[in-house]
Structure 1
Amino acid sequence: MTQTQALAILFADVSGSTKLFEQRGDVEARRMISAVLDALSDVAARHGGKVIKTIGDEIMCTFPGAMNGVMAACDMQRRMAQDIVFVRDNLGIRIGMHHGDTLVEDGDVYGDAVNTAARMASLAKREQIVTTASTLKGLTNVGAIRSRSLGRARVSGKLLPIEIVDVIWQEDTSNITTVQRAIRIDDGGTTEVKLTLRFRGQVIELNENSPIFMMGRDASNALVVDAEWVSRTHATIEFKKGYFVLADRSTNATYLKLGDDEEMRLHRDEVHLRKSGAISLGQAIALNQSDVVYFQCNY
């Protein structure tokens, strides 16, 4: 029987498990990961959670309310940080969660809330809890929970990016970098966020709600650079976590100059765009003057 139920969906996975298998071997790495997942399951149960499934090095849980999920996520991170065995073996986790309506069927859960929670997990880094701003807004007693805005991120199936936050679980926050964003959870205020691109007389403006901007040789790209050294889909620009991010997908790399900094070569990697600069697809900027893309960031 299928029913709709508001639940907090939480994904937690072991950070760096691939390296763990390389260093420790299959048997020992599997044992270590199982120990982590067992510990996370125990924490989830103490907060009224239910383990839906484990997928490799990842655990998926549901909780009856957002507060249950947030408190469980914080305790999961503390459990990892305080366990001598886990610390000795350099084990850590990253967590993503979201509260929303789900379809419950045959002991499993489906729907938009599950997809959103999975996306939050993909954005989280080691020792981090990433959730949606709407999850925290729905809490009635949020005084004990500290968070910081991470800006906005795109989620598959949603037309516009959504506001995401980092839940601060550490009691000592002296070593945590404060991220200041123009968008605040409590009042929803915004300032203009814009990226201006100039290429061969064209002027293109992107904002935080713009779709992923694709550049390359193929005619399907938003910006077509027709040169033999340019890949069909060479690079993309996407607004995520509060910044415009340039990502290279090419064979011959993307060359980037930020302000007065030295030119960098970007290959199958990504970097935050800041201030102003120049982008060249496939060749160094000095060799490719006619096809340089100039940009100006306004955060």
Structure 2
Amino acid sequence: MTQRQPLTILFADVSGSTKLFETRGDETARRIVSGVLNVLGEITQHHGGRVIKTIGDEVMCTFPGPLNGLLAATDMQKRVSSDPAFIRDNLAIRVGLHHGDTLLEDGDVYGDAVNTAARMSSLAKREQIVTTASTVSGVTNVGPLRTRALGTARVSGKLLPIEIVDVMWQEDTSNVTTVQRVVKLVEQGPRKQRLLLRYRSQSYEIDELAPPFSLGREASNNLMIDAEWVSRTHATIEYKRGHWVLGDRSTNGTWVRLGDGDELRLHRDELHLRRTGTISLGQETSLNPDYVLTFQCMEA
């Protein structure tokens, strides 16, 4: 039976797990990551929430209201950042959440709110909580919570970008300008930042308000690269917090050269693209030079 209900959706992702698997081995790393996820589950229940599912090193939770989710998010960050075992293994979390209408069916949750919360999680950095301005503005009593405006971001399925904020969970925020209420939407100015991508005979120009540009083997990507070493959805490029950001989501990794520098391997991580360079999905440039992209960051 399908039921429609407003809920706060929270995604928390363990940062540092990839290196943990490389250095500690699969069994030990899995046990440690499971320990982090168990802690997040306990905090979820403490704040009246419910764990819907875990996906690898990520947990998806629901809460009855925004305040429950916001308080749970801050407690999650405080707990993980202060646990000696997690600190020893250089683990942290990044959290994204959003409150909105959802569809409940067979114990799972679907809908626009889920997609938006997942997008907030993808925007969050290590030790950061990112949420939508509407989620915070719907809270009548924020108590000790402080937020900082991060500008706007594109969300798949939404015509216009939405305003996002950073929830400041650290005890000492003396060096950060914070607000208790969400600031008004920054007025749209001219689109200044652009990225030019070239692949063989194809070229793409992306502006700063464009949704994430996807690259991979499947035809559903913005740019399809049909090679066996390329993952189905291999990587994305988007404009975040003043930078063009390449995010690798692949099995084999992505090789990037910035300017005349050395080629770097990116795997399940993000990298700021600067000025000009090359991108090779799945293999080093020298192995398959015909499959290499070039990029150029431009300002109007």
User: Between Structure 1 and Structure 2, whose CA radius of gyration is higher?
Assistant: 1
Amino acid at match of 1:194: K
Deviates more, 1:38-47 or 1:188-197: 188-197
Are 1:248 and 1:266, in contact at CA under 8 Å, matched by a contact in 2?
Answer: no
1:163 aligned partner, one-letter code: E
| Match status 1:188 vs 2:182 | no
Residue 164 (1) aligns with residue 164 (2): yes
Query: Which whole-Å CA distance do the structure 1 matches of 2:73 and 2:91 have between them?
Result: 16
Q: Distance in 2 between matches of 1:186 and 1:43?
A: 29
1:271 aligns with 2:268: no
Q: In structure 1, what is the Cα distance between the partners aligned to 2:13 and 2:277?
A: 37
Report if aligned partners of 2:11, 2:61 keep a CA contact under 8 Å in 1: yes
Cα distance change on mapping 1:295 and 1:108 into 2, 3 Å: closer
Q: Which amino acid aligns with 2:185?
A: G
1:50-69 paired onto structure 2 within 5 Å? 50-69=50-69
Matches within 5 A, 1:19-58: 19-58=19-58
- What does 1:1-299 correspond to in 2, within 5 Å? 1-173=1-173, 185-190=182-187, 192-195=190-193, 208-210=208-210, 238-241=238-241, 243=242, 245=244, 270-271=271-272, 279=276, 297=299
Amino acid at match of 1:127: E
- Structure 2: which amino acid aligns with 1:109? V
**SS class of match (1:127):** coil
Gaps of 5+ in 2: 197-204, 215-221, 223-235, 249-253, 280-293
Q: Could you tell me whether the CA contact under 8 Å between 2:255 and 2:263 is conserved in 1?
A: no
The one-letter amino acid paired with 2:172 is: D
Superposition deviation, residue 171 in structure 1: 0.5
**Contact 1:12–1:121 (8 Å) recurs in 2:** yes
Give the conservation status (yes or no) of the 8 Å contact 1:98–1:132: yes
SS of alignment partner, residue 188 of structure 1 = coil
Alpha-carbon offset, residue 297 of structure 1: 4.0
Q: Could you tell me which runs of 5 or more consecutive residues in structure 1 were left unpaired when the two chains were aligned.
A: 199-204, 215-221, 223-235, 257-262, 283-291
Question: Which amino acid in 2 is paired with 1:271?
Answer: H
- Among the aligned pairs, what percent are the same residue? 58
**Matched positions, count:** 252
Per-residue CA deviation, residues 128-175 of structure 1 (Å, 9 max, x unaligned), is 11111111111111352111122222222222222211110001135x
Q: Which runs of 4+ in 1 moved over 3 A?
A: 176-179, 195-198, 205-214, 236-239, 246-249, 251-256, 263-273, 278-282, 292-298
C-alpha separation in 1, matches of 2:210 and 2:138: 27
C-alpha separation in 2, matches of 1:194 and 1:149: 20
Contact 2:256/2:277 (8 A) holds in 1 = no
Q: Output the CA distance in 1 between the equivalents of 2:247 and 2:8.
A: 35
Q: Deviations over 1:66-107 (max 9, x none)?
A: 110000000011111222222223221111111110000111
Measured in 1, the distance between the counterparts of 2:29 and 2:56 equals 11
Q: TM-score, normalised by structure 1?
A: 0.69
Aligned CA distance change for structure 1 residues 159 and 267 (closer, same or farther; 3 Å): farther
Change in 2 beyond 3 A, CA 1:55/1:197: closer
3-state SS of the aligned residue for 2:52? strand
Between the aligned partners of 1:159 and 1:213, the Cα distance in structure 2 is: 16
SS of equivalent to 2:118: helix
Question: Matches of 1:10 and 1:196 in 2, distance apart?
Answer: 31
Residue 289 of structure 1: aligned partner: none
Change (3 A) 1:35 1:7: same
1:296/1:5 Cα in 2 relative to 1: closer, same or farther (>3 Å)? Answer: same
Distance 1:35 1:209 in 2: 38
* Root mean square deviation of aligned Cα: 3.8
Contact residue 258 and residue 278 of structure 2 kept, 8 A: yes
Counterpart code for 1:122: S
8 Å contact 1:9–1:62 — kept in the other structure? yes
